[in-house]
Homo-oligomer: A and B are copies of this chain.
Amino acid sequence: MGHRKDENMISKLITKIQEKDAPVVVGLDPMLNYVPEWIQKKAFEEHGETLEGAAEAIWQYNKGIVDATYDLIPAVKPQIAMYEQFGIPGLMAFKKTVDYCKEKGLVVIGDIKRGDIGSTSTAYAVGHIGKVTVGSKSYAGFDEDIVTVNPYLGSDGVKPFIDVCKQEDKGIFVLVKTSNPSSGEFQDQMVDGKPLYELVAKKVAEWGEECMDGAYSNVGCVIGATYPEMGKVLRKLMPKAYILVPGYGAQGGTAKDLAPYFNEDGLGAIVNSSRGIIAAYKNDKYAKFGEKNYADASRQAVVDMIEDINGALK
């Protein structure tokens, strides 16, 4: 299989963002208490109150949301922890979700935050965005398009992911500054007069040079929506890195906070919302849809999110 220029991942993501005029990603992070009662009931009738039953419930819930929103959005971001908590059946639901979203033409960003030393990072990379060799055959274990990576172990923990990106035309988003309240405990510590996250950002820019795909790199990063001032500085340090921005909506980031994350070309960032979309029906604003039509509530929340973000950018 030769390397085809037009298949590079970040270009593919950008094309889809432009086609849909929607720099957004829907976070498929299904907590069981988000899943409407009627879906849980049906799944438990078929499989009992078991891990299989829970996995079936979250899969059916996801499928409903994907069917109702896939034409509006370029990408989804399933958070693997929400599946892993249900053990093997949960991870089977994760895999099913990844496969289904790809069938629907969506770019799938596996929010896995893996990172380890050399050969171990290679194993994660191979399992999630590459292919593993078994005798004379090779197989893609999970086959996401892009995954999130934790940089705490340094270059030799990240480079194996970049090697696989190059081989397979895939992408990674490296954690630079996360959206949670205590992210500053280590990430904001001052190193030679600059916060640590800026040092990580410089490394992301350096790693990204190896992996360019047009104006942007297949090595992107994660910066929480809750820090617009930092976003501005980091945008300049990594002009060619696509920024995945979690924390919009439920975590407190607003559309006007997001402008600094984008470049002059109107590109360079993609904003994630999870609970705000997938559990929209539980929000007063969308309560009129009711539990039965939870997926329509999610669709309306996506429409509103795109309008909100595009409005703030234009």
A interface residues with partner B (beta carbon < 8 Å): 29, 31-32, 40, 44, 49-51, 53-54, 79, 81-82, 84-88, 90-92, 95, 113-121, 123-124, 126-128, 132-137, 139-142, 150-157, 175, 178-187, 189-192, 196, 199-200, 203
Residue from B95, B134, B182, B200 in contact with A50 in the complex, judged by beta carbons closer than 8 Å: B134
Q: Cβ of A44: which chain B residues have Cβ within 8 Å of it?
A: 135
Among residues of B, the one whose C-beta sits closest to the C-beta of A178 is B153
**A161-B184 Cα distance, complex, nearest whole Å:** 19
Count of chain copies: 2
Whether A81 lies near B124 (C-beta < 8 A) is yes
Closest Cβ–Cβ distance, residue A251 to chain B (whole Å): 9
Whether A29 touches B191, Cβ cut-off 8 Å, given contacts A87-B141, A153-B178, A182-B156, is: no
Q: Cβ of A178: which chain B residues have Cβ within 8 Å of it?
A: 117, 152-153, 157
Whether A189 lies near B199 (C-beta < 8 A) is yes
A84-B128, A185-B203 given; name 13 further pairs at CB < 8 Å. A82-B120, A85-B132, A87-B141, A90-B141, A115-B150, A117-B183, A150-B152, A151-B186, A154-B184, A189-B189, A189-B199, A190-B191, A191-B196
Residue from B29, B86, B136, B141 in contact with A85 in the complex, judged by beta carbons closer than 8 Å: B141
Whether A141 lies near B180 (C-beta < 8 A) is no
Among residues of B, the one whose C-beta sits closest to the C-beta of A55 is B134
What 3 pairs across the A-B complex have the smallest Cβ distances?
A: A87-B141, A49-B135, A154-B182
Q: Cβ of A123: which chain B residues have Cβ within 8 Å of it?
A: 79, 81-82, 84-85
Whether A132 lies near B186 (C-beta < 8 A) is no
Whether A180 lies near B199 (C-beta < 8 A) is no
Whether B154 lies near A51 (C-beta < 8 A) is no
Whether B154 lies near A152 (C-beta < 8 A) is no
Q: Cβ of A152: which chain B residues have Cβ within 8 Å of it?
A: 150-152, 175, 178, 186-187
Q: Cβ of A192: which chain B residues have Cβ within 8 Å of it?
A: 190
Whether A135 touches B40, Cβ cut-off 8 Å, given contacts A87-B141, A126-B85, is: yes
Whether B120 lies near A50 (C-beta < 8 A) is no
**A82-B116 Cα distance, complex, nearest whole Å:** 11
Whether A95 touches B84, Cβ cut-off 8 Å, given contacts A49-B136, A182-B153, is: no
